[in-house]
Amino acid sequence: MRRIRAAVTGAVTLSLAFTATACGGGESGEATPKTLTYWATNQGSSLEVDKKVLQPELDQFERETGIKVKLEVIPWSDLLNRILTATTSGQGPDVLNIGNTWSASLQSTGALLPFDAKNFEAVGGKDRFVDSALGSTGVAGKDPAAVPLYSMAYALYYNKQMFKDAGIAKPPTTWDEVTAAGKKLSKDGKWGIGVEGSNLSNNIHQVFVLAKQHGADFFTADGKADFTSDGAVAAVKQYVDLMATQKIVAPGNAEYAQNQSLSDFAKDKTGMVLWQTPSQTFASQGMAPEEWGVVPAPVPAGKPGQDKQTNSMVAGINMAVFKNTKNLDGALKFVKFMTSDEEQILLNKAYGSVPPVKGAQKDPAFSDPSLTVIRDTLAGSAAALPQVPEESQFETVVGTAVKELFADAAAGRPVTTESVRAKLEKAQQQMPKK
Amino acid sequence: MTRTAVAPTSDPAVRKAAPGGAPAPRRSGRRRIALPYLLLLPALLLELLVHLIPMLMGIGMSFKELTQFYIRDWSSAPWAGLDNFAVSIDFDAPVGQALLKSFLTTCLFTVLSVALCWFLGTAAAIFLQEEFRGRGILRTLFLVPYALPVYTAVITWAFMFQRDNGLINHVLHDQLGIGDSPAFWLIGDNSFWALLVVSVWKGWPFAFLTVMAGLQNIPRDMYEAAALDGAGVLKQIRHITLPSLRPVNQILVLVLFLWTFNDFNTPFVLFGEAAPEAADLISLHIYQSSFQTWNFGTGSAMSVLLLLFLLVVTGVYLLLTTRGRKTSDV
């Protein structure tokens, strides 16, 4: 009998213990934890490449501080959901990378540590960072929710041999020139320019810049969604028209979402792509650096600059600290390490991006022509995506609208100002009411 | 548990291992009643934890204005009353319209998918009922889709459905010359049919397996008697096989219906974060409404509505089928 009782008690205790851990008890009570968990985004051509780039640096950090960093590289498709889950459960990593466009959205959840004066001081000061990069770290007027880690911007990449074969003397700098060049290139199964019609974020980046060029924004000054202004409609139509009416984009691009447009480019099937720092991907697809050229992304007319001459969003990755971290001191030390001049030079070199840290930008590694274009764009003609809490929703609903319009264009259905406006109207009504 | 395992024995260890069977001679009545329940307790606790509590939380969330501002502590979100439900079923506004369209798409999709799964599964099971060379191999092959991990299988389908480099268009367009230009399968209207193909491919082996098991219970001599009376194969299927399979089919169709109606993995892996309008199944739609527009309150309300719908359908179905069965048994 006693044995039965013992067995039953054991079973119940075990199940209760299981319940407790499943609820997220976790380990705690450690006075000075000697480990950090770090979620890195996928920057290189694969998750493995990222581990190879980052692990030696994390080992270096451990040698310097005695703090071990547990690395997890997370694919883009999972990252936002993983962060949301971590936010809800409170069980997240100590330090994480986020896409800089999400800064304001994630800031609004209250899960990220605000970088106030004191925290900025702990990582070396705000002045070390480039202004444009700091513009994508959270809502203006609030303490940033993250610090910039890697910077990128859009530029126009073109295939030198295809341009030569089509008799195009100089790479295009305005949209009219892009269309003209595209028409010369689009024949015999080859196409002018590549798009990623099913990639919601990429769609947003492109139509955001075009909207700026039409003098419009997707949010009003007080942060309300404003998707159906004439400028916004014209911007979306102009982008989809590259396929629908200009016919310089292959219809198949409407279903691209996995960077297939880059492999088409590397395989000489597409003459141009608008992209952020694709040099590593081109190389991994077997394209030699001398086979492609790069110029600033196109503007309506003239030269890139502010406002209507905006030709890129401020792209990049930020580094944030999870507010629930049990090792705040170590987490800030790690952010300081990753944003130090030496690490910035090394990491940005490995990823083909530009350091958002002024000191590191001076390194000669970042003055080759392709990176100079990016650097100049970031300094003079790039604009940050709206830093509003609803940015993430905006990416989803407007990105989906553009995807659906591309599907219409690919199927040969007309894309008109009315159909564009209707899709954007629907997108706007799907935004959560405030 | 088999009979032999509960045979009375003097070994106490063996006796304890057999709680539900023959009574151990010296056990008191109350304990005997309590023990099975105690042994079920861990499972009950887990069921509570994994199913019931989240479900109740979801119902709670559906009455709150739960956006990203409150997900760190959802209980602090402002009370929304029935607003989330009102938005979900306001069929004149885009959110309700999209939900209704997605619901109707899912209904059509489910009916087609379940019918095809059932038909293919039953046909294959009947075909493989007779002994012949290679029957074992065929049986194994037919179960392959069921055995493969969903993600791997569906991502392979996604590759095959690609317009320019996929196998489907290579066969249909390049080799058979169907259509003027290669068709899109992953965007636009065709995506519905692409999703149906994958769903049936994935679902019919379960029907096959279930019907095959059901066929084992039909006595062979019924067929022999029917054959002696001059009934052909079709007549035998109609008058012996199908009626005998009735109880099996009743559960099979219900399970297939619930799985297909709620299927999230297939469209999510096939189409990614935003399904084309033509193939916007309701689970993915609700996922997008809650996790991608971060409007968890409305998403929860939609889930509660879906739950209610499935409960009603299941209830009515069970009522109708069991009543029918009782009268036919009489």
A61-104 pLDDT, tens digit each:
999 999 999 999 999 888 988 998 899 888 899 999 999 999 99
CA distance A252 to chain B (A): 6
CA distance B78 to chain A (A): 12
CA distance B101 to chain A (A): 14
Percent of chain B having pLDDT more than 90?
A: 58
Pairwise CA distance, residues A233 & A308, whole Å = 16
Q: Comparing C-alpha atoms, which of B140, B148, B142 is closest to residue B123? A: B142
Cβ neighbours of B298 in A, within 8 Å: 432
**Does residue B263 surpass a pLDDT of 60?**
yes
Residues making up chain A, counted from first to last: 434
B186 and A426 within 8 Å at the Cβ level: the answer is no
pLDDT of residue B74: 83
Cβ neighbours of B162 in A, within 8 Å: 255
pLDDT of residue B180: 86
pLDDT of residue B27: 56
Cβ neighbours of B49 in A, within 8 Å: 19, 22
Cβ neighbours of A406 in B, within 8 Å: 187
Please list, residue by residue across A174-198, b when 16 or more beta carbons sit within 10 angstroms of its beta carbon and e when fewer do.
Answer: ebebbbbbbebbbeeebbbbbbbbb
CA distance B106 to chain A (A): 19
Burial (CB count within 10 angstroms: exposed 0-12, middle 13-18, buried 19+), residue A85? middle
A200 and B274 within 8 Å at the Cβ level: the answer is yes
Chain B residues at the A interface, defined by Cβ less than 8 Å, are 12, 16, 31, 35, 38-39, 41-42, 45-46, 49, 67-69, 71-72, 74, 93-95, 98, 162-164, 184, 186-189, 272-274, 276-277, 288-289, 291-295, 298
Pairwise CA distance, residues A135 & A125, whole Å = 16
pLDDT of residue B293: 83
SS3 B193: helix
pLDDT of residue B12: 46
CA distance B87 to chain A (A): 10
Spell out the per-residue pLDDT of chain A, length 434, in tens.
444 444 444 444 444 444 334 333 334 444 566 899 999 999 887 899 899 999 999 999 999 999 999 999 999 888 988 998 899 888 899 999 999 999 999 999 999 999 999 999 999 999 999 998 999 999 989 999 999 999 999 999 999 999 999 999 999 999 999 999 999 999 999 999 999 999 999 999 999 999 999 999 999 988 899 999 999 999 999 999 999 999 999 999 999 998 899 999 999 999 999 999 898 889 989 999 999 999 999 999 999 998 899 999 999 999 999 999 999 999 999 999 999 999 999 999 998 899 999 999 999 989 888 899 999 999 999 999 999 999 989 999 999 999 999 999 999 999 999 999 999 999 998 887 65
Angle between helices A175-185 and A230-244 (to 10 degrees): 20
B72 and A87 within 8 Å at the Cβ level: the answer is yes
pLDDT of residue A32: 61
Cα A383 from chain centre: 14
Q: How far is CA A332 from CA A344, B51, B257, in A?
A: 16, 39, 52
B273 and A84 within 8 Å at the Cβ level: the answer is no
**Does residue B172 surpass a pLDDT of 90?**
yes
Closest CB from A22, A90, A411 relative to B188:
A411
B294 and A406 within 8 Å at the Cβ level: the answer is no
Q: Comparing C-alpha atoms, which of A190, A138, A127, A202 is closest to residue A163? A: A190
Residue A149 in contact with residue A317, Cβ under 8 Å?
yes
SS3 B64: strand
Residue B17 in contact with residue B36, Cβ under 8 Å?
no
Give the amino acid at A85. Answer: T
pLDDT of residue A339: 97
Cα nearest neighbour of B67 on chain A: A432
Q: How far is CA A311 from CA A173, A239, A258, A276, B305, in A?
A: 10, 14, 23, 12, 45
Across A44-58, A152-166, B17-31, B132-146, least confident range: B17-31
- Between B139 and A154, where is the model more confident? A154
Cβ neighbours of A250 in B, within 8 Å: 164
A11 and B295 within 8 Å at the Cβ level: the answer is no
**Does residue B4 surpass a pLDDT of 50?**
no
